[in-house]
Structures are given as C-alpha cells and as structure tokens.
Structure 1
Amino acid sequence: MTAILEVDALERRFDVSAPWLNRVIERKPRRTLRAVDGVDFTIERGQTLALVGESGCGKSTIARLVTGLHSPSGGSITFHGDRDRMQMIFQDPYASLNPRWRVGRIVAEPLRTLRPDTPDSMVSARVDELLRTVGLSPSDASKFPHEFSGGQRQRISIARALAGEPEFLVCDEPTSALDVSVQAQVLNLMKRLQREMGLSYLFISHDLSVVRHMADVIAVMYLGRIVEIQPTADLFANPLHPYTRLLLETIPDLEAPKRDRAPMGGEVPSPVSPPSGCSFHPRCPLAFDRCKAERPLRRAEVHDRRVACFACEEKAHV
C-alpha cells in the first residue's frame, strides 16, 4: 500500500490572551493554547484512520488543519494527491447545508466550482446520479434541506462531498448528531462507498463503538497528543495506554452489563496550562515520578512506536 496522507510533528497553537490593555493593566502575560502538540500519523490509500478522544483533545483541529481551514504552527502535512480531490463531511447536517438553497444546487456546488465549464445538462445528470448513490431520489433535488430528516441531510452532505470526485474524505464526527439506528445506516453507506470508489478516510469521533465498525487503524488522542496508535483489532484486544483502557471501559457490554468498571478520575486539564511531563499523569492509575517530569514519546523499541507511556516502556523492557 502507498500513503495518501502523511502528518509529521504537526502543531497548532492559538493565542488566547486577554486584550492588550487588560494585560497591561492587570500585568498578565500572553497565553497560548496548544490544540495540537506534535502529532504524526500516516493514512494509506483505501484505509480509514480514526482519531478518538474526549472533547477538546484536538481532533477537530486536526481535521481543519488537514483540509487547509487552519494553517499549522509547526510540522508538516503531505497529501499525495490532488488537493481538489480532498473533501470534508461536517458534524452537523443541520448547520452545514445552506437552508436557502435547494438540494440540487447544494450537491452541484463543488462540481460548478471545480469544473465551471461543465454544461448544465451534465451537472443535472450528475446530481441525479449522486442522489441515487446515497439512497435518495432525483426528485429530492428540488426540495430544501428543512424537508429532510437528520440522516437524509447527512446523505445530502455525502453526495455534495462526492460531487468533487474525491479520493480522500475528512469526516468530522459525521454521525454524532444522529439517532443510533440512523448512525448505522450512514456508516454502512460510507463503508459501501469506500469499497466501491476506493476512498480513504480520516474519521474523527469520540465514540469507540463507531470507530470499531469504521476504522482500520485507531489513533487515541489526549490533550493534543497521540498517546496510542494501533490497528483496530489489536487496540480492542490489547489496549496499551492507560487512557485507552479507561476509554474502552466506558463502552457498554451486553454480556457483562454489571461488570466492575474503574471510573475515569479527574477532569481533563486545561490545554492552556497542561501538566508537566505526561499530560495524562494526574488521572493515570499507573503514574510515577518520571511521568511528572518527562514527556513520553512513541519509541521504536516500545511496541513498534504504538504507545507513548513510561509504564508501558518499563513493562516492555522487563
């Protein structure tokens, strides 16, 4: 397999300082939020890599960096393809569609933007084809977004993304606003489209049950960093990082609904003033002195660079 996207040492910082006059009067320094802090991963062609983690860990910021909506503060993003063939599916199907446009115009927008010389008859035929592809009717092209359910609106969003003939899709929580039964329908549609069109996905989610169904590889994020990255089956069978294990404990188990589960302690620290060393150490049951002083890295000799954790490193060397 060949890589379609390579991300190396990616950083994104935001200035969250108070206004200049307030800082002068109150004698406060500038404050910087490190939303993404040295992230690296590779996505192969035809593969789905999922980024998972709690809200505020930097997942959506990475999605915006990859698509060019934000500029990196450091590191690099290398896309091995035509940037015009990268599209994004947004989280909220209610907010991401223009309520004043008919569906046909919404779906045709990328085609008219990227290929403005396309005759109207071909655009119309392509819109009809795309609506059928996502399970809607060509007659829906004349309707407005408010006439559809949430799941149908997300299908319209997918049709719009496909209009640009993408090879790579960034999916930012594409089913989190939908009912569970509708989620399954949309996810199955995305899996089918991936098989038929050879698509590659960067899939953003906080729901491990969803990414278990969708992803080939899962990268677990905590406070702007990737703490573990593994093939999906390996991660569920043998989670390495304590944070990953705690996340997996939150998934309901029908076979053992009353099993003893250790609650995840503490609050997520502020990314403006993160803890020293390993950012997870205030909540980690395995933390020791080194975790408070040093930042762990995903090292080649520790589970093939799959995990950034000193406890795992010591266990691997035993």
Structure 2
Amino acid sequence: MTQRSGAILEVDALERRFDVSAPWLNRLLEGRPRRTLRAVDGVDFTIQRGQTLALVGESGCGKSTIAKLVTGLHAPSGGAIRFHGDRDRMQMIFQDPFASLNPRWRVARIVAEPLRTLRPDTPEPEVTARVADLLRTVGLSPTDGTKFPHEFSGGQRQRISIARALAGEPEFLVCDEPTSALDVSVQAQVLNLMKRLQREMGLTYLFISHDLSVVRHMADVIAVMYLGRIVEIQPTADLFAAPLHPYTRLLLDTIPDLEAPDRNRIPMGGEVPSPVSPPPGCSFHPRCPLAFDRCRTERPERRADVHDRRVACFACETPADGAAADV
C-alpha cells in the first residue's frame, strides 16, 4: 500500500500536569499546599508515515499519558500535538486485552463497533462481511464472531483488539503496551502480526513499552523517557550500537545477553524520584554514575549542537561545553 511521505504526527513541548493535592478542607486545616504532578514535561518528537516510533522507560515515566494525549483521551496542559491526517483514522490498541473488551458483547459486535460508529450508513450485510474479513486478517475464524471474549486466550483477545482497531481503516495506531499482559511466546506471535499488518496496510505506529527487547524488533526509532521527559532519541540500530544517555545504557544492561552472560554490568541504584517533587537539575542525577556538579543544578536539554538533538545529558557534551565528552 502506497503512503504519502512526510510526518504524520508532530509533538512539540508537550506537557500534562495533574493536580494531586489533598482535598480543600484538609489543606485548610493542615496548612498543606497544592501539589502538582508533571506527568509529561516538555516532550517533543516526530513520527514519519509508515514508521514505528517507540517510547520506552520505567513504569510511571509518562509513556501511557502521552498515548492518551495523542489520542485525545487527555487534554494537554501545554505544548502542541499536530496530526497530519484524518482523526477518524487514528485508533488505539490498549494494554490489557482482558479489560479492553466488553465481556457482554459477542466478538462480531465488538469488532464492528468502530465501523458502525464512524460509518453508520454502512449496510448490515457489508458490516458482517467486513467483520469476517478482519477476523481472518488477524488469524481468527469468522465463526469466532459468535463467541464472547472469555472464550479466548490472552493472545486471541489481543488479536480481537487489533481487528477492532482495523475496522475503522486506520492509518495511525497508538499501541499502549500491547503485549505486556501476554506470555513471551504469544508476544512474538502478536508482534509478528503487527509487523505484517504494517507492511501490508502502510500503518504508522506509536508503540509504548517498558521492554527494550520488544521494541528492538518493532521500532524504527526509539525515544527513551525518564520522569516525564525524553532523555534520548535515536534510530533503533544506532541506539543499541551506541547508546548515549547513562539511563539508556543502564536499561540496555538489564537485557539478558546469551553471548556474554557473565559480562560486567552496573546495577541501577536508587528509586525513581517522585514526579511531584523531582530533584533539581537533571532528574536522573541521583541515580547516575556519571553525574557531576552541573547535573545537580541545571536541567539538560536536547540541543542541536549535542549529538544533533539526540540526547539530553551534560556528560555527552564536548569539553568546550564544560563537561566530559569521552563517555
């Protein structure tokens, strides 16, 4: 399928803040201030048509919040999201196939829902034929449309979720941890299905995951998030061959290596700081083995003169910028 070239999604200085203050009366009686959680803090990236961009990072870093911002489930507190396409052709695949399917509906009704919502004038025989075709596309049988979700395995339920997303003829899919609830062998089947559908239908993916070994096989570009910010973004092959940010290197060290099982690895110390009260300067500095004084007072940005905006880290800058370059 031929796709137009160029960017399909541009995210610029995106922010999302949540008020996590105690109730008004508690604050009044106890003299407690308002508290704000900065779930997404100045994020920017671009996704080209037909490409897969993966957002990775530990739980709570803001990945799923970005997914909800892009799909319109949350409104941004600041910044801009520019989608260069038809909003009706953006769909989402949710993390948990056990929770994202209505247990009271038969599969045929679940898969047909986007079609009936977006194109209500579609004749019923055409809807039925389309549902059967979609079930075949994801490796199920048209007769499965008469069953309920509880009659399927986890991998089959996620295939139903994919069929439902495809019913609206999307060009852009937001995939929020689509395989994390599945067994490893089933993960591989679902990922291979998604890769095949992308090739055949020219789909574009925003792929959310905490697992670098998964996105290595899915993504063209990987953006690494930490505490609401993107600290590094690189083409997948470059990131695995030459990771720049210390956090990315520590994440890569957690992936088992059968060729070097006894390699020396630096354990990641400490806990992720609270996004309600992040540390000053670089938010990663309390856990970073390369942190120095500047990291504790200034917040690094992804600048054009630092590895072509690929990394936000003072330790990756040149000596002329006042930091160590050979890291």
Q: Does 1:54 find its partner at 2:58?
A: yes
Which residue does the alignment assign to 2:129? 125
Q: In structure 2, how many angstroms separate the alpha carbons of the residues matched to 1:266 and 1:186?
A: 34
Which residue does the alignment assign to 1:223? 227
Q: What secondary structure does 2:267 align onto? A: coil
Which residue does the alignment assign to 1:4? 8
TM-score of the superposition, structure 1-length normalised?
Answer: 0.99
Alignment match of 1:109 (pick from 103, 113, 116): 113
**Cα RMSD (Å) of the superposition?**
0.8
What is the count of residue pairs matched by the alignment? 318
Q: In structure 2, how many angstroms separate the alpha carbons of the residues matched to 1:157 and 1:38?
A: 31
Which residue does the alignment assign to 2:152? 148
Q: In structure 2, how many angstroms separate the alpha carbons of the residues matched to 1:192 and 1:168?
A: 15
Q: Deviations over 1:187-228 (max 9, x none)?
A: 000000000000000000000000000000000000000000
Q: What secondary structure does 2:216 align onto? A: helix
Alignment match of 2:257 (pick from 253, 278, 285): 253
Instruction: Check the 8 A contact 1:303/1:316 in 2, yes or no.
Output: no
Which residue does the alignment assign to 1:267? 271
Q: Does 1:83 find its partner at 2:78?
A: no
Which residue does the alignment assign to 2:309? 305
Q: In structure 2, how many angstroms separate the alpha carbons of the residues matched to 1:140 and 1:276?
A: 55
Q: Does 1:183 find its partner at 2:191?
A: no
Q: Deviations over 1:96-116 (max 9, x none)?
A: 000000000000000000000
Alignment match of 1:70 (pick from 62, 74, 80): 74
Q: CA deviation at 1:257?
A: 1.2
Instruction: Check the 8 A contact 1:3/1:42 in 2, yes or no.
Output: yes
Q: In structure 2, how many angstroms separate the alpha carbons of the residues matched to 1:181 and 1:316?
A: 49
Q: CA deviation at 1:314?
A: 3.2
Q: In structure 1, how many angstroms separate the alpha carbons of the residues matched to 2:123 and 2:96?
A: 31
Which residue does the alignment assign to 1:159? 163
Q: Does 1:170 find its partner at 2:177?
A: no
One-letter amino acid of the structure 2 residue matched with residue 278 of structure 1: C
One-letter amino acid of the structure 1 residue matched with residue 155 of structure 2: G
Alignment match of 1:279 (pick from 264, 271, 283): 283
Q: Give 5+ residue unaligned stretches, structure 2.
A: none
Q: CA deviation at 1:256?
A: 1.2
Q: Which aligned segments of 4 or more residues in structure 1 are displaced greater than 3 angstroms? A: 314-318
Report the identity percentage. 88
C-alpha spacing 1:208/1:316, structure 2 compared with 1 (3 Å): farther
Q: In structure 1, how many angstroms separate the alpha carbons of the residues matched to 2:272 and 2:212?
A: 18
Q: What secondary structure does 2:279 align onto? A: coil
Which residue does the alignment assign to 1:21? 25
Instruction: Check the 8 A contact 1:5/1:78 in 2, yes or no.
Output: yes
